[in-house]
Amino acid sequence: MSPQLSQMSLRPDLVRIAQWIRPNSSVLDLGCGDGALLGHLKQTKSIRGVGVEISDARVLSCVQRGVHVIQQNLEDGLAMFDDQQFDTVVLSQTLQSMHRTEHILREMARVAREAIVSFPNFGYWPHGWSILRGRMPVTGQMPYDWYDTPNIHLCTLKDFERLAATLDFTILERATFNDEHEVKAFAGWRSTLAAYRFTAARS
């Protein structure tokens, strides 16, 4: 598969995440799914990558792609990895389903020099309209009803940025999207998805 076709198969946030990652670097992808991001990065940027995934089917997909994957629940932590073992750690569209949000973010900052997260933006304006009508929002980025959703910690862009400041993280870049289109203006209420690249202060 050519690099162009490989990129076309990625979600918009993963395309931007791939652009943020340096060639020949080491990458840890948490909740790596079927290994699409790591497979793309291996092909186009010659990275050294490791994925962490809990699903049997997705682990098998990673193996079929030639992606090195460890089967483990992220809620168990990242104790298997050393401090600053990786150049970049990625957590894409998984943060909102984590029980211990601060813990996983701190662990990401511990095991890598830079961290990248992406998550649905609860500040997207139709969400507020849905709540005003008395219903929890159901959209493309959050397609579940309230009683069966895996999303337990939803946030807006400002919520995440406030938490990052509390954790002494420095946000290096932000990208926001609505479907496949990047949103530049009024991103807080026009975007359905956000991606952040950040680093932590080192003692």
pTM of this structure: 0.86
Residue 5: per-residue pLDDT: 42
Residue-number span of the structural domain to which 15 is assigned: 3-200
Count Cβ atoms below 10 Å from residue 181 Cβ, excluding itself. Answer: 12
Residue 99: per-residue pLDDT: 87
Express each pLDDT in 157-201 by its tens digit: 999 999 999 999 999 999 999 987 899 888 887 898 999 999 997
What's the CA gap between 196 and 203, in Å, rounded? Answer: 22
Residues of the chain with pLDDT under 50: 1-5
Residue 154: per-residue pLDDT: 79
Residue 136: per-residue pLDDT: 59
Residue 47: per-residue pLDDT: 97
How deeply is 92 buried, as exposed, middle or buried, from its count of CB atoms within 10 A (0-12, 13-18, 19+)? buried
Residue 139: per-residue pLDDT: 63
Q: What is the CATH number of the domain that holds 133?
A: 3.40.50.150
**Do 120 and 193 contact (CB within 8 A), yes or no?**
yes
User: Could you tell me the end-to-end alpha-carbon distance of the chain, in angstroms, rounded to an integer?
Assistant: 43
Domain count, the chain: 1
Residue 2: per-residue pLDDT: 45
**Residue 10 corresponds to which tokens in the numbers above?**
């990625």
Report the candidate in 93, 91, 37, 25 with the shortest Cα–Cα distance to residue 67.
Answer: 37
Q: What DSSP assignment string belongs to 14-68?
A: HHHHHHHSPTT-EEEEET-TTSHHHHHHHHHH--EEEEEE--HHHHHHHHHHT--
DSSP state of 187: H
**Residue 5 corresponds to which tokens in the numbers above?**
């076709």
Partners of residue 65 on adjacent β-strands: none
